[in-house]
Every structure is written in structure tokens, then in C-alpha cells.
Amino acid sequence: MTISEVKDFLEAKILCGEEHIGKDVHTACGSDMMSDVLAFVKDQSVLITGLNNPQVIRTAEMMDIICICFVRGKVPDEAIIEMAEDRGLVLMATDMRMFEACGILYEKGLRGGAKH
């Protein structure tokens, strides 16, 4: 699935990284707890979260996550968007809730991957 398809399925708005939306995502992870995200490893993932502080961007950076989708209508501030831009991440925001967003992506064929 491409990032562009993720955006369409979740009816999301791109916040930065438009130039990377042709990239493929292979797995997804949905959580508001960053240590739970850090327990999960898989290349080229999309992170679905309702948390929008700088540590979300750092967690993505450490995990080589390429795309973050903020749920429940949350939009991070400019400094966070800039941080993501510097790291070549795609950020998007949807009004959907976590359960709904994860369910749709799962139904479209994306899986959680990684049992380390």
C-alpha cells in the first residue's frame, strides 16, 4: 500500500512530506504509548497515533517509520511539523478515531507485522 492510498483510505490531510507519498508502507502500528511502538520493529511502517508531541517524531526516527497519521483531528504544532520535514517523514491528520483508522487499514490489507 502506498502512503497516498493510506491518505485516501483515512480521508486524511497531508501536513508535510507530500513528495514522499508515493512510497510503500508494509506494516502499521497504532498506539499512544511510544514505548509500545518502540517494542515493535518493522521497516517502512505507518504509525497511527493520537499523541502529538516531539517524541512521536523522535520515536518514528529511531524506528525508521516513514509516515505518521494523527487521529481524532489532532494536528501538531509548526515546530513538530518542521522536525518531521527535516527527517523526511510524511505527516497526515484524520478526524477518524484510532479504532476506525486501524480497522480500515487492516481491512485494506495492511498488517501489524513484527513478532520480534
**Footprint on this chain of other proteins (rule: CB under 8 A):** 32-36, 38-39, 41, 49, 51, 53-56, 58-59, 61-64, 116
Cell, residue 59:
520515536
Question: Shortest gap between Cβ of 76 and other proteins (angstroms)?
Answer: 12
Helix (H) or strand (E) holding 102, with range, is helix 98-107
The C-alpha atoms of residue 88 and residue 10 are separated, in whole angstroms, by 21
Residue among 47 and 92 whose Cβ is closer to other proteins: 47
Residue among 55 and 103 whose Cβ is closer to other proteins: 55
